[in-house]
Chain A
Amino acid sequence: MQDLLRRYGTGLTSVFCLLVAFWILVLIVLPNFAMFEQSFRPYLPVVEVGGPKDVYSFANYSKILDNGFESTIFGIPVTLPIHVLTFLDTVFFSALVTFFTLVFAYPLAYYLAKIASPRSIPTLLLLLFIPMWVSEALRAFAWYVILTFNGPLNAALKGLGIIEESIRWQNGIFTSYDAIVIVLTYCYVLFMLFPIYTAITSLDTNQIEAAEDLGSPWWRTHWRVVIPHAKPGIASGCVMVFMLSAGSLLVPTVVGSTKANWFPQTIYTWFNDALDWNTGAAYSMIFLLACIVFVILMMRLFRVKLSDIAK
């Protein structure tokens, strides 16, 4: 603060501070607070808003527990409220997307950071970035085309003799979420790549060589030297991809099968179709909190500290 004052003078410094305060307060805190407040009030006709029925309660929150639905999780039959089931599916498949992006991004990040010749890096990064110039909606539709029953993927696989019958990708082979997982992985892999790339770049190449010199095979060098060093990058990549995937509305809407429900779609339905903003707000709050709790639990599990991610 002192530094800012000295460098830019009182006038400019107060403009900076006011702008930042405006950003945080008006664009972040107030809307979220409004949602938070709304989520405790019942959905009422306009004339009754502020009337005797307009009292705070947890009624909107408890709606998530309505509508028991019979399904199986890992072969065990269970009865869960349908929205809870959607929520669990969303978290599980977002975690799966996170895992896949990690599996793709780590080797690529390592290659870019330590193996590729420095001269080819700008070209490679450009090639990686070009798909990002197209909006997410277009990319999702492109995948919709790729994955259709008579689409290029099936044609190519059949042409190569890998499959005999066309696959209904949108319905999925393994689960009804296949298409969503594929497209989300594609959309968010770069969010995993760059933090890991940055982390590995900062690793002294001599450490990798020292490990090898001491007799270490490549996998142990990665396990003991590279991955521990890249852990903050891996962690922030995972948090980002998980949150983006779990919060994605567009991709599940475009490529998802009728049987695949993504939690943001449920929220969207409350807001848009039911016009019940109060319940929608309650669901959003539940989703936000639950995702944060999940991320914190995962960070505990992998012994990552918050300060690591901030780096």
Chain B
Amino acid sequence: MSAGIDLDNVCCDFGTFRAVDNANVSIKPGEFFSFLGPSGCGKTTILRMVSGFIEPTQGAIRIGGKDMRGQRPNQRPTALIFQNLALFPLMPIWENISFGLEVRGVDKATRRKKAEELLALVDLPGAADKMISQLSGGQKQRVAIARALAVEPQVMLLDEPLSALDLKLRQHMRAELRAIQKRTGVTFIYITHDQGEALAMSDRVGVMSQGRIQQIAEPRDIYDNPVNGFVASFVGENNIFEGSLGPVADGMAALTGPHGSFRARIRPEAEGKPLKLYVRPEHTKLAPTKGSENSVEVEVTEVAFEGAFISVHGHAAGGKAISAEVRNDGVTPVPALGDKVYATFDAARALLLPDANVRG
């Protein structure tokens, strides 16, 4: 059982401060949807509105097509996993997990059985009688997931549940969460400020900044076709060039600045706004000779070995920082410190983007 969620022009004001501005999303039943954004951009606020702890100042939230206005959190078919988990430290684990069933008047034996089943599902068999304080961070995490799953919610809301874990465990839990979501088919709304996490786990991602949803798209699209400079910068590295825009033809335009003239893709809706050129380091190639277009001379100032690739940083004329990634495949030549090389990129890989969509 899972339900879709629609946010229609949802706004949330705290006094005069607008924490969420005009959010429009339509999340499909069974989808794994992530909200990605920096700290303080309003992610938790959205989640708290969906779970019913805050009423939107404007707009409507529908779950499974039903308007949720006026519904208390205990009446909504959602289960929230809190940023700090909020497990009950005075109850043993099985009571934590079955609390939602206890509320629904399920008898003790059935509750216990269900708790054990869920513990098996989250890979924690035999922990039923332990106390919360006896668990590690990752185990607490799983208990929180089990507790939320116990009430068979149609929507699971997860507020940065992995942020407190170490890298290894985080990666493990990502896979686990994804697997649990597939197994149960419940709609997941997942909140994170970790772009890798959002891109790796989600069916779709909504990138937020300062209370506004900047872009909603599949992870690949977010990375390859960001709609503005904020999204491009938040989900990865970029070399950014400024300049004045030439005429647009066939979805391409030229940008002329202090480092030369570059051609890049432009979206129709971006035309007429102040634009900058964004190109990813992995699409920036280094060569001893000047390319036919989109080429700029760079002096290498740093070569950092990263394992699978080598990160090369340099300065163009005027001290502008440029970086490139060279694949560590033993074939591609790696420039040395102090070398003068040409950084060249494909016009189809470069984007002309406006800044973030902010109010004002």
User: Could you tell me which A residues sit within 8 Å of B by CB distance?
Assistant: 204, 206-207, 209-217, 220, 224-225, 228-229
Contact = CB atoms under 8 A, between A and B. Distances in A.
B152 to A, nearest CB: 11
A212 B73 contact: yes
Contact of A213 (B51, B91, B102): B51
A220 B151 CA distance: 16
A270 to B, nearest CB: 47
B103 A215 contact: yes
A213 B47 CA distance: 12
B40 to A, nearest CB: 18
A206 B74 contact: no
B86 interface: yes
A204 B83 CA distance: 12
Interface string B59-84: 00000000000001110001110111
Nearest to A208: B86
Given A207-B88, A209-B73, A212-B74, A217 B82 contact: no
Interface residues of B, number: 26
A180 B79 CA distance: 50
A288 B229 CA distance: 76
27 contacts: A206-B82, A207-B86, A210-B80, A210-B86, A210-B88, A211-B88, A212-B72, A213-B73, A213-B74, A213-B78, A213-B79, A213-B80, A214-B74, A214-B99, A214-B100, A215-B100, A215-B103, A215-B104, A215-B151, A216-B100, A216-B103, A217-B74, A217-B103, A220-B103, A224-B99, A225-B88, A229-B90
A249 B274 CA distance: 83
Contacts, number: 61
Contacts of B102: 220, 224
B43 interface: no
A210 B73 CA distance: 9
B53 interface: yes
A214 B82 contact: no
Nearest to A214: B100
Given A209-B82, A214-B99, A216-B103, 5 more contacts: A211-B99, A214-B79, A214-B103, A214-B150, A224-B91
A105 to B, nearest CB: 21
A212 B51 CA distance: 10
Contacts of A204: 84, 86
Interface in B135-178: 147-148, 150-151
Q: Which 6 A-B pairs have the closest CB atoms?
A: A206-B86, A214-B100, A210-B86, A215-B103, A215-B74, A228-B90
A213 B52 CA distance: 8
A215 B52 CA distance: 12
Interface string B36-68: 000000000000000111000000000000000
A48 B79 CA distance: 81
Interface centre among B80, B91, B103, by most chain A C-beta atoms within 10 angstroms, is B103
Contacts of B52: 213
A216 B53 contact: no
A208 to B, nearest CB: 9
A90 B99 CA distance: 41
A217 B80 CA distance: 16
A190 to B, nearest CB: 27
A224 B83 CA distance: 22
Contacts of B72: 212
Nearest to A228: B90
A278 to B, nearest CB: 49
A58 B340 CA distance: 106
A207 B100 CA distance: 13
Nearest to A217: B74
B261 to A, nearest CB: 55
A225 B95 CA distance: 12
Contacts of A215: 74, 100, 103-104, 151
Contacts of A217: 74, 103
A220 B104 CA distance: 11
A218 to B, nearest CB: 9
Contacts of B103: 214-217, 220
Contacts of B88: 207, 210-211, 224-225
Contacts of A216: 74, 99-100, 103
Contacts of A206: 82-84, 86
